[in-house]
Amino acid sequence: MPLPDFVKWSIFPFEGELRVRRPKPLYPTDRPRSGEPGGGPCHACAATDDEYIWADQHWRVSATKPSGVPVQVFLETREHLDMDDLDDELAGGLGRMIVRLDRAIQAVGGIGRVHVARWGDGGSHFHMWLYGRPRGAGQMLGFCLPMWAQILPPTPEDVWQANMAVVAAELAKVSGTAIVRP
């Protein structure tokens, strides 16, 4: 199978000989995700608020372990719902939370853009990834940012914790509780 053109783009994190894997035949159904019948337990439902950096009555924000970007967080519903379960009120709240998180991540400073991604293949509890791309990081543009975040050396722990505290404090200015504090 031919390689796609994006492997030649300067933002693509790999070089050298690449080969496209053959697609496997389709399974009759999707595999069960955590939190679904036949899948493992839902980790988000079992988590307590002290495992998050911020929470309110509908949403919680957790920090990943330090990665190659200054900020990488998950937005999750408090209730065990998937995206297609969000009622109109929660769907509108999702839009507001994305904008609030963009502003909170920008408040860290040195952020060029905030990237938002939702895959949902591992767990059935709604979650969304948000990445703060460093300003001027010309190779970390677009869909390659999550790969770069895994490849580059992690942000130092003390800087990571300070960045998470900024995000939590900014969110708490509007509502909810900052659990991580400077």
CA distance 22 to 89: 43
- Tokens matching residue 150: 């895994």
Planar angle of CA 2, 7, 136, nearest 5 degrees: 165
- C-alpha to C-alpha distance for 63 and 18, rounded to whole angstroms: 33
Per-residue pLDDT tens for 29-86?
999 999 999 999 999 999 999 999 999 999 999 998 999 999 999 999 999 999 999 9
CA 82 to chain centre: 15
Q: What was the pLDDT predicted at 120?
A: 86
Distance CA 179, CA 182 (A): 10
pTM: 0.93
Question: For the chain, which domains are there?
Answer: 47-178 (3.30.428.10)
Cβ-contact 18, 2 below 8 angstroms: no
pLDDT band at 167 (very low <50, low <70, confident <90, very high): very high
pLDDT at 101 over 90: yes
